[in-house]
Amino acid sequence: MYPYYEQDWSVLPPENNRRFNPAFNMATIRQAFTEAVERVRMPTPTRLRDLIRQIRAARTAAEERAVVNKECAYIRSTFREEDSVWRCRNIAKLLYIHMLGYPAHFGQLECLKLTASTRFTDKRIGYLGAMLLLDERQDVHLLITNCLKNDLNSSTQFVVGLALCTLGAIASPEMARDLASEVERLMKSPNTYIRKKATLCAFRVIRRVPELMEIFLPATRSLLSEKNHGILITGVTLITEMCENSSDTLMHFKKDSGNREIVPNLVRILKSLILGGYSPEHDVSGVSDPFLQVKILRLLRILGHNDPDASEAMNDILAQVATNTETSKNVGNTILYETVLSIMDIRSEGGLRVLAVNILGRFLLNSDKNIRYVALNTLLRTVHADTSAVQRHRTTILECLKDPDVSIRRRAMELSFALINAQNIRTMTKELLLFLEKADAEFKAQCSSGMILAAERYSPNSRWHLDTQLSVLIAAGNYVRDDVVSSTIQLVSSSPVPEQTYITNRFWESLQVANHCEDKQPLLQVAVWAIGEYGDLFMYGVNEDEFERPTESDLIAVYHKFLTSAQVSTTSKQYALISLAKLSTRLQQCVEEIQALITSFGSHLNVDLQQRGVEFTQLFGTYKHLRPPLLEKMPAMQISRISSQNGESGGSFDDNSPDVMENGIELGGSGTHPLIESNMNTMGDNTNILLDLLGSTDLSVGASDLAMATDLSNAVHKKNTRNANNDVTSNATVSNNQDLLDLLDLDMSAASTTAVMGVNLSADHNSAANMNTMLGGLDLSGFGGLNSMQPSSIPTNGNDLASMLGGLNAGVGGAPSTAAVPPIGGDVNSSSLLGELNPTTVSNNVTVPLQRAKLTALDKNGLVVQLLPVPGSDCMKICITTTNSSDNTLEQYVLQAAVQKSFKLQMLTPSDSVLPPGGVITQEMRVVATSNAVLRMRLRIQYTLDGQQLVEQTEVSGFPEQQLSNE
């Protein structure tokens, strides 16, 4: 029989289908005959195998492309000709071309035509094409849904099978809904071939549309009483999916599963599998149907989870599986692995759990890498539940740290961290340090942070802790995260004096080793910090440990080496400069060398280093008397993050320690705490305002600032941030300080630490304790976070950020001298700390103001803003006087200013924020020019009048010429 005369099931309607001819007369037969002869005469299309040969014979990609393009063009043309005889061959070729990565979507409709054909070959290829070529496009799906519906009702089991298989692979939610009832009907078919396929189809339907679960429930009842393994395994798969998806269904299965209770039923099947004799059909190297066994074990796990009765019912069989399974091959271990997971997840007996952990212990020793990997993975999952059992395999786990396989090393490392406790911290740390030294770059950051966390929690004494910290810094080099630097600084600062001397000596020693400065920058940073901070102890204190002390000139020579090395990062140089400044008050002879070195930075190419150079130079000249108090030793810092977490988790520590650990690691890493994020968002807004003000289009400034804020979150005391954020939200009243801070925030949007800290200050309910933590935060910002972000921020927005930060840094240095410097406000509230920054410079800048013309910036509705510029030696001071001659009171008055990038602007606290009729607000700002440009200034004045917020913007120019501040 020629296929030509077969009834054509084309998707086209009969009137468009020229071969569909109801009038089957002589004329049409003749016509058909001539057509057939034509076809024989015409060359037949290339055979699939020939095409594949041609493509494989292509020597270059271009050649291959040429062959494919030619064939595709040919296939397209045959599609146009409605030629159904070769359609299936053409589609097959197209599928091969598709696999090579060429576009083949023009064949989608042809696939559908094939599936509608009556020939099985066509259907087979058609559905294969449909599975490969169809995406979830709706128009095509309607067509395929119809084809599927037809074929699901076919009398040939294989046609039904093809349709079910296709539905299982590409069911979209719409298709699932449309065909669910058909699938449900087929699930009850007496034909096992169809039934098992329909059951898995139901599984897919539920995956896509969980609501459809209901209609399949009755049909699942009989599945587990079948003998056929195909039906059993698909049935268990379907029930597992249902139970995982809905707790109601889980209850339904537990209570009533039609014939018998589900747990005993599954136990029976499993038992017959392990105890039943050899069945060649399902045997896999001595294990009877491992596929089915694993599926059953998994369903048992779900049923026994948090259910003592069900767990009781399966204890025995689990023990039987665990002891009876042959473990020489992968199959056996597959089953044991699943059994262990089930034992750990249900309410199993203690003895069974020990058995499970021992199985994993054996796995760890297995020569097969896959088994070892699985064991580590499972131990990691179960370590929370039963730490002591896992501890027994500690040595084996540590061995796995040396495995050549990355996947295994990663798991072993994570597991090692989970196993650290107060008893084994020393040995574990020793092993992990060895690992850290040799570890790939990708591990170093996580491993070092993890070790620091563990040491912080379990260290037996402070000497050991300090040594560990140092070893980690040495071993992990440049890969350590910023949190390690800050936590080490905190640790050192809170250690007793002898320890500080000791560790400073150790740091000094470690700096002597070659290469340590380039590829161990974090170590360098911590080391110079410690040497600067404890220089007096280091050089002249009690030398208990009998370290060899360098001479002062040796010390300065090393600093000189770092500061001039091109390999040392700017951040490290920042640390070194501050450290050097500190040393100037601690050393006895080399002060001049220090001064010379610092002064040389006054012309450094890096803006921030230059700024530091210039500002520290001031401390050797005009403000010499301020140097000792400003560079006092830091007060001991509160141990931050980790200890506070420790406090919170309290006694239940052992139970959830791995979680805490992970949190810690995560925090240290990206620091995407929601609070911090929200903080960043508001900062982003502010930055935008600033950009508005500056009239700048450089949005990247904002972006980089945000990025820096993320970095900062590492350094910011987590709790502090939280407090501060709370304060931001709760503190609705706008105080003077906050006004300033708004500006600070605007101008130095990157400096979230300062902003956060400042806001904290302005909060009324600050207690002394809070002050302390703030100091901690301050210091961190001074030496960790802020420093590290300055270099990137300066070149981008180059405004007054640096000068402000400089001021802050000086303030940080002099933090303990808060009491010595009289606070501006008189009352010692928390805001005085911020005020303290100002008087240090205010009180020492008693230049007589020259009479100059006042510039009127704004004169509107009785509100007059006047600027009085007073050129000074290093900066221009501008006094802003705002008067109110109207009859209304202006509240929440805020003046913000912005200048070009070539200037640096610093604004001081205004005298008030409320402007009553006839009232005056004064405020001072300082402008430092960094290039010879004409100063222009934009002002934004914001106030509330009768509860309505008003904003004025104005631009001021005509300031007197200013000399460059840095000569």
Q: Does 372 bind other proteins (CB under 8 A)?
A: yes
State the minimum distance, in angstroms, from the CB of residue 371 to other proteins: 7
Residue 187 identity (one-letter amino acid):
M
Quick one: 161 or 835, whose CB is closer to other proteins?
161
Any idea which residue has 């600067």 for tokens?
532
Instruction: State yes or no: residue 191 binds other proteins (CB under 8 A).
Output: no
Residues numbered 373 to 392 that lie near other proteins (CB under 8 A) are 373-374
Question: Contact at 8 Å (CB) between 908 and 747?
Answer: no
> Per CB under 8 A, which region of 331-339, 605-613, 659-667, 916-924 contacts other proteins?
331-339
Binding of residue 245 to other proteins (CB under 8 A): no
Residue 961 interacts with other proteins (CB under 8 A): yes or no: no
First to last CA, the chain: 102
Smallest gap from Cβ 769 to other proteins, in A, equals 43
Q: Which among 70-78, 385-393, 405-413, 774-782 is the span making contact with other proteins, rule CB under 8 A?
A: 405-413
Helix axes 521-533, 482-493, angle to 10 degrees: 20
Contact 121, 86 (CB under 8 A): no
Contact between 222 and 186 under an 8 Å Cβ cutoff? The reply is no
Of 105 and 561, nearer to other proteins (C-beta) is 105
Closer of 1 and 732 to other proteins (Cβ): 1
402 contacts other proteins (rule: CB under 8 A): no
Token code pair at residue 483? 């949190």
What minimum distance in Å lies between the beta carbon of 244 and other proteins?
A: 8
Sketch the per residue contact string, 420 through 449, with other proteins: x for CB under 8 A, - otherwise.
Answer: ------------------------------
Q: Which of residues 250-309 bind other proteins (CB under 8 A)?
A: 281-282, 284, 289-292, 294-295, 298
Interface with other proteins (CB under 8 A), residue from 207, 268, 549, 936:
207
Enumerate residues 680-699 that contact other proteins by CB under 8 A.
Answer: none
- CB-wise, 370 or 954, nearer to other proteins? 370
Measured from the CB of residue 910, what is the shortest distance to other proteins in angstroms? 53
- Which residues, 556 to 595, sit near other proteins by CB under 8 A? none
Contact stretch for other proteins (CB under 8 A) within 114-122, 697-705, 763-771, 872-880: 114-122
HEC secondary structure over 465-486? HHHHHHHHHHHHHHHCCHHHHH
The smaller minimum CB distance to other proteins, of residues 98 and 673, is found at 98
The nearest distance, CB 513 to other proteins, in angstroms, is 33
Q: Which three-class secondary structure state does DSSP give residue 205?
A: helix
On whether the CB atoms of residues 10 and 147 are closer than 8 A, the answer is no
- DSSP codes joined into one string, 586-646: T-SSTHHHHHHHHHHGGG-SSHHHHHHHHHHHHTTTTTGGGHHHHTPPPPPPPP-HHHHHH
* 49 is a site residue for other proteins (CB under 8 A): yes
Tell me which residues in 854-873 interact with other proteins (CB under 8 A).
none
**110/608 with CB nearer other proteins:** 110
By beta-carbon proximity to other proteins, the closer residue of 220 and 913 is 220
966 lies in the site for other proteins, by CB under 8 A: no
To the nearest whole angstrom, how small is the minimum distance from the Cβ of residue 195 to other proteins?
A: 10
Distances (CA, A) of 505 to 501, 508, 548, 573, 576: 6, 5, 8, 20, 16
* Shortest Cβ 829–other proteins spacing (Å): 51
Per rule CB under 8 A, is residue 415 in the interface with other proteins?
A: no
Closest distance of CB 241 from other proteins, Å: 9
Q: How far is the CB of 792 from other proteins (least distance, A)?
A: 31
Any contact of residue 101 with other proteins (CB under 8 A)? yes
591: its two tokens: 């002060």
Minimum CB separation of residue 789 from other proteins in Å reads 32
Q: Which 161-180 residues touch other proteins, going by CB under 8 A?
A: 161, 164-165, 168-172
Q: Which is nearer to other proteins, 374 or 740 (by Cβ)?
A: 374
- What mask, x for binding other proteins by CB under 8 A, covers residues 70 to 99? ---------------x--xx--x--xx--x
Q: Phi and psi dihedrals of 203, rounded to 5?
A: -55, -45
Per-residue x/- marks for other proteins, 802-841, CB under 8 A? ----------------------------------------
Closest CA relative to residue 783, chosen from 810, 804, 765, 757:
810
DSSP state of 815: G
- According to DSSP, the β-strands at 890-899 and 937-945 are antiparallel
Q: How far apart are CB 137 and other proteins at their closest, in Å?
A: 10
User: Is position 406 an interface residue for other proteins (rule: CB under 8 A)?
Assistant: yes
Q: Per CB under 8 A, does 892 bind other proteins?
A: no
Nearest-angstrom CA–CA distance, 99 and 96: 5
Q: What's the min distance (Å) between Cβ of 329 and other proteins?
A: 10
Which residue type occupies 660? V
Question: Out of 28, 44, 681, 957, which residue is the one contacting other proteins (CB under 8 A)?
Answer: 44
Long-range interactions of 958-964: CB distance < 8 A, separation 24+: 958/855, 959/855, 959/869, 959/876, 959/878, 959/927, 959/934, 959/935, 960/852, 960/869, 960/871, 960/876, 961/934, 962/871, 962/876, 962/927, 962/929, 962/935, 963/929, 964/929, 964/930, 964/931, 964/932
Query: Taking the alpha carbons of 648, 653, 656, 657 in that order, is the dihedral positive or negative?
Result: positive
**Shortest distance, position 10 Cβ to other proteins, whole Å:** 17
Residue 230 within binding range of other proteins, rule CB under 8 A: yes
Q: Between 121 and 847, name the residue whose CB sits nearer to other proteins.
A: 121
CA dihedral sign of residues 331, 335, 338, 344 = negative
Phi, psi of 737 (to 5 degrees): -55, -40
Contact between 848 and other proteins by CB under 8 A: the answer reads: no
- What sign for the dihedral angle of Cα 529, 534, 536, 538? negative
* Residue 376 near residue 396, CB atoms below 8 Å: no
Separation CA 967–CA 964 (nearest Å): 7
Of 717, 731, 737, 638, the C-alpha closest to 676 is 717
Binding mask 607-646 for other proteins (x = CB under 8 A): ----------------------------------------
Phi and psi at residue 259, in whole multiples of 5°? Answer: -95, -60
Nearer to other proteins, 363 or 458 (CB): 363
Residue 911 CB burial class (10 angstroms; 0-12, 13-18, ≥19):
middle
Q: How many Cβ atoms from other residues are within 10 Å of residue 397's Cβ?
A: 26
The 3-state DSSP composition of the chain as helix, strand, coil percent (nearest 5) reads 65, 5, 25
Binders of other proteins among 120-149, rule CB under 8 A?
120-121, 124-125, 128, 131-132, 135-136
Cβ 159 to other proteins shortest distance, Å:
9
Which of 95, 761 has the CB closer to other proteins?
95
Regarding 220 and contact with other proteins (CB under 8 A), the answer is no
Candidate residues 106, 158, 540, 653; the one interacting with other proteins per rule CB under 8 A: 158
- Please list every residue from 51 through 70 that binds other proteins, using CB under 8 A: 52, 56
Q: Which two tokens stand for residue 230?
A: 């195909």
Give, as ranges, the residues between 333 and 352 that touch other proteins (CB under 8 A): 333-334, 337-338
Q: Minimum CB separation from other proteins for residue 350, in Å?
A: 25
